Amino acid sequence: MATIQRFEDIESWKTARQLTRAVYELSRQGEFAKDFGLRDQMRRAAVSVMSNIAEGFESRTRSLFAEYLGRAKASCGELRAQAYVALDANYIQQQFETLVNMCISCSKQIHAFITYLKTKPE
* Predicted local confidence at residue 122, as pLDDT: 66
Residue ranges of the chain whose pLDDT lies below 50? 1
* Predicted local confidence at residue 120, as pLDDT: 79
pLDDT per position as a tens digit, 20-50: 999 999 999 999 999 999 999 999 999 999 9
- Whether the CB-CB separation of 121 and 101 falls below 8 Å is answered with no
Rounded to two decimals, the pTM is: 0.93
* Predicted local confidence at residue 1, as pLDDT: 44
Residue 92 contacts by C-beta under 8 Å, 6 or more apart in sequence?
26, 32, 83, 86, 99
- Which domains can be identified in the chain, with CATH numbers? 12-119 (1.20.1440.60)
* Predicted local confidence at residue 2, as pLDDT: 63
Residue type at position 30: G
Whole-angstrom Cα distance, residue 69 to residue 75? 10
